[in-house]
Structures are given as structure tokens and as C-alpha cells.
Copies of this chain bind each other. A is one copy, B any other.
Amino acid sequence: MVDEILLPPRATLRQVAALSGVSLKTASRALNSEPHVSYGVQSRVLAAAHQLGFRRNGLAIDFRSGARSTSVAFIMGDVSNPFYARIARGAERRLRDAGLQLVSASSDEDSERELALIDDMIERRVSGLLIVSSLDDHRFLEAERRLGTPMVFLDRPPDHILADTVVIDNAGGMNQAVAHLLGAGHRHIALVGDLRRLSTHRERVEGFAVAMRSAGINDWERYVRADSHDIPTAEAAVADLLASPEPPTAIITTNNRITIGALRALRGAQHPPALIGFDEFELADLLDVSVITHDPERMGQIGADLIIDRLAGMDQPPRKVVLPTELLVRGSSERGAQAV
């Protein structure tokens, strides 16, 4: 193979202008279909651009006009978690229609990494920040906020800073689930939760506690397990619960990863406890698993819209949007209850 010569350097607007015999600015206008360009000039410029294989330099455009790139950052735990992927999808669609692009970055739920990513995104001058944060103090973003960078906190509210937020009705969803199980006669209900430091975890546990207490059950903590952040850990936690002297008759898992871990642990169990999982997941219907559903794509859409509105000058106090949940009763929640 002959080593081909690459790099006949890229044509610039200046060359297009020269070739078509107009000024830089006129060429710019023509290529951007701005008004006040005669038809003849327009087509001459376009032809020259085509001939030279000209491509606008987005880097130069972003740099020059306004001090912001046309990207919006999405910082979350892990793209391959369907919850985040669906948020990304919702956000991406809205942003694209607004001429923006989504840049996703995974923090692996690690605070250091999250900080580094946010920092990086700020330096890249993203137009906005969509964050599912695992930090517990967001004061460091205050300066950026005052500089006018729109930021929306998704799924978990920010701490020590006022900013737009889109969350799920965690307590409400949990309440419905617990009420349903209580109604079926369950008294020994376990909760298997995510990292203790996450606000979603705390809210879900709190919703659980409230519902349990109001049913007169005060030793609810006995069956609460936390820090099951991945599938294997969740599986182990559930296995452990099942092996205890007085196993729970029902289990609530607080996210899709944990639910899957629970399903693994329950596989082949003689008398599986009832199960309700937070987050809908693909195949939940086939596996007959009851879930607390909500709409992650919508979360992404709303987040994106908020960014877009703020960018367009919307100047209202920070909003907090709470997305509803719905209990989808399937087979898994209808079993294992002891006689009432």
C-alpha cells in the first residue's frame, strides 16, 4: 500500500471568500443563509465552498460567538444503567431540536470523579449542566451558577445551592408500595437500598418508615439493608435476608439494579417473599415483577427544557419538578403474605 499523502490542509472561510471574489463577511453571510445576500453572490459562494470542500469550523464559531459551546453536559453514574440511558435519550432529543448536543460522562458514582468531570465540563464551557450527583455539597457550583450557567439536578436534589431540580416522588412511590403490601397482610417487609449517602435512598427509606410506622410497625428498621449499589451486593443482601431466622415475607428494592440482584437471589426459592421493585425494567412484565414506575425519559426532557429555557433568558426562581410514580401490580407482590 502506497503511503498516501494526507492533509491537504482544510479550506477556510477566507479561501472560500477569495475564490468567490467576495469579502470574508459576505462569504460568511452566504454560508449561514443570513439575509441581505443577493442570489448571485450566494450561489457563487456556495459553489466555491463546495469546490474547496469547505466545512465550517465549529470550534472557531463556538469560540467566537458567545463564550459557550453548543454542548450540554450530562453527568451521571453509568451510561450502561438503563435508568441513566433513558434520561440521556430524553434529554438528547430535546437538545438536538435546539441545536445543542449532549455530552454524557459517567462518574461511577464516585465523588472525586464527579468533581473532576464537572470541572472539565465547565472548562469546556458547556452551555448547561445536567447532573445526577453523588456529592453532598454543591456550594462549589455557586460561582458557576452566578456566571449564568444553567444547571439542573436530576433525580437527586442539590445541597447548599439553589438550582432547578427534577426528581421522582420517592416517598410517595414507596408509600404506595408499602401500603399495598400492608394491605395484603404483610408485616415483615424488608427494604434493600442503595448507597446510604444518596438522597434518593434516604427519601425512599423515609417513605418506607412513615408508611410502616403509621401502620403501627415500629421495628421496621430490622429489615432495612443499605449500600447495595450493584447487582452482586444486592443479591447477597437479599440472600442474607432470606437466610435469617425470621425472613421477611416481602421485599422492596429501591432501584432497578437491586431488583435484578433480588431476582437472582430469589431464583429457586421455595417460598419466595413478595417483591416490589423501584424502577420499571425491561422484562419486568415477563418475570411478573411488580414495580413502582416513573418516566426517566421525561426527566431528561424536562431537564433539557429547563436548560434551554434558561439559555433563552427565562429568569424565574429555580423550579423543583416532582415526577409522579405509579405502582404496577404484577404477580410478585401478590404472594407470600401470612394470614392476617
CB of A7 closer than 8 Å to a CB of B: yes
- A residues 1-17 near B (Cβ < 8 Å) are 1, 3-4, 6-8, 10
Residues of chain B lying within 8 A (CB to CB) of residue A60: 63
- By beta carbon, the residue of chain B nearest A284 is B283
Among A257-305, those with CB < 8 Å from B are 260, 263-264, 267, 282-283, 286-287
Compute how far the CA of A283 lies from the CA of B3 in the bound complex, rounded to whole angstroms.
Answer: 49
With contact pairs A125-B57, A260-B282 given, residues A147 and B78 touching in the complex (Cβ less than 8 Å): no
A123, CB-defined interface residue at 8 Å = yes
Q: How far is the CA of A88 from the CA of B105 in the complex (A)?
A: 10
Q: Could you tell me the distance in whole angstroms from the C-beta of A206 to the nearest C-beta in chain B?
A: 28
Stretch at the interface among A38-46, A79-87, A170-178, A195-203: A79-87
A339 nearest CB across to chain B (Å): 30
Say which one of A20-28, A96-104, A240-248 lies at the interface with B: A96-104
Q: Interface size on A (CB < 8 Å)? A: 56
Across the interface, A6 reaches (CB within 8 A) one of B63, B105, B147, namely: B147
Contact yes or no, B103 A146, CB < 8 A: no
Is residue A59 contacting chain B, with contact meaning CB distance below 8 A?
yes
The CA of A68 and the CA of B58, in the complex, are separated in Å by 10
**A62-100 interface (Cβ within 8 A of B):** 62-63, 67-71, 78-80, 82, 85-86, 88-89, 92, 96
A106 at the interface (CB under 8 A from B): yes
- Tell me, yes or no, whether A35 is within 8 Å of chain B by CB: no
| Cα-based distance from A70 to B126 in the complex (angstroms) | 13
Q: How far is the CA of A21 from the CA of B315 in the complex (A)?
A: 39
CB of A222 within 8 Å of the partner chain: no
**What are 15 A-B residue pairs whose CB atoms fall within 8 Å in the complex?**
A7-B146, A53-B143, A56-B123, A57-B67, A57-B123, A59-B59, A80-B85, A82-B85, A96-B105, A102-B103, A264-B286, A282-B282, A283-B283, A283-B287, A287-B287
- Shortest 7 CB-CB contacts between residues of A and residues of B: A58-B124, A63-B63, A58-B123, A80-B85, A80-B89, A59-B63, A59-B125
Given contacts A7-B147, A55-B123, A78-B89, 20 further A-B contacts (CB under 8 A): A7-B146, A7-B148, A8-B146, A55-B122, A56-B123, A58-B69, A59-B62, A59-B63, A71-B103, A79-B89, A80-B82, A82-B82, A101-B103, A101-B105, A104-B104, A263-B283, A264-B286, A267-B286, A283-B287, A286-B287
